[in-house]
A and B are shown apart, each in its own frame.
Chain A
Amino acid sequence: GDSVTQMEGPVTLSEEAFLTINCTYTATGYPSLFWYVQYPGEGLQLLLKATKADDKGSNKGFEATYRKETTSFHLEKGSVQVSDSAVYFCALAPIQGAQKLVFGQGTRLTINP
């Protein structure tokens, strides 16, 4: 079945460091791909999305490119801030029928000043 695998956390970086969180997926057809972020005490918020191969989603300095050849959707940011500390979830929406989201396990990111 459809699945998403994220890099293991937690990840701890210093402010202004470069961030990569890896995400790979297994799906039938061409799913839509998403990154959600969960700040402490809050719900999941959509960070960015891509709906077809080679699309690049971007928001708040974060980027991710839909790579069909490697079935990947890695999240990157060139210079992280303390306020980026959160849990990041990669997710896919399967192309067939249902609207459900399939999530990765989440990666906890901590940015130190």
Chain B
Amino acid sequence: EPEVTQTPSHQVTQMGQEVILRCVPISNHLYFYWYRQILGQKVEFLVSFYNNEISEKSEIFDDQFSVERPDGSNFTLKIRSTKLEDSAMYFCASSPGRTYNEQFFGPGTRLTVL
């Protein structure tokens, strides 16, 4: 069964460093998403991506964040200069269509900023 994969499973970085979190969505899906979950808090929407551009982003998704689909399979989230408060679990998801279709989630990348 096709699934969303994410790498790495755990990333440790120093404050101020750049990190890139990688995702491989399900191959025939058209919509891609990033969410994050700070420990003990809700899963929060960051950004959605369709047709090679951002379709919606949340207030959390400021200039420090960017997303890219560099080739036909990968979908990346870059954080330019990490802060302590960026420590969280980051989930990638993909969907074949719009709102009423299921979003398929990856296992997450745990980012720890020291």
- Asked, given contacts A98-B55, A99-B56, A100-B48, whether A44 binds B42 with beta carbons under 8 Å apart, the answer is no
A112 contacts chain B at the CB level, 8 A cutoff: no
Contact with A along B83-112 (1 / 0, CB 8 A): 000000001010100111011111110000
Q: Does A69 contact B (CB under 8 A)?
A: no
Q: Give chain B's interface residue range (CB within 8 Å of chain A).
A: 20 to 34
B100 and A43 form a contact (CB under 8 A): no
With contacts A49-B102, A93-B100 taken as known, whether A43 is within 8 angstroms of B56 at the C-beta atoms is no
Tell me if A22 counts as interface (CB < 8 A to partner B).
no
B75 at the interface (CB under 8 A from A): no
B: residues with CB less than 8 A from A are: 4, 6, 31, 33, 35, 41-45, 48, 55-56, 58, 91, 93, 95, 98-100, 102-108
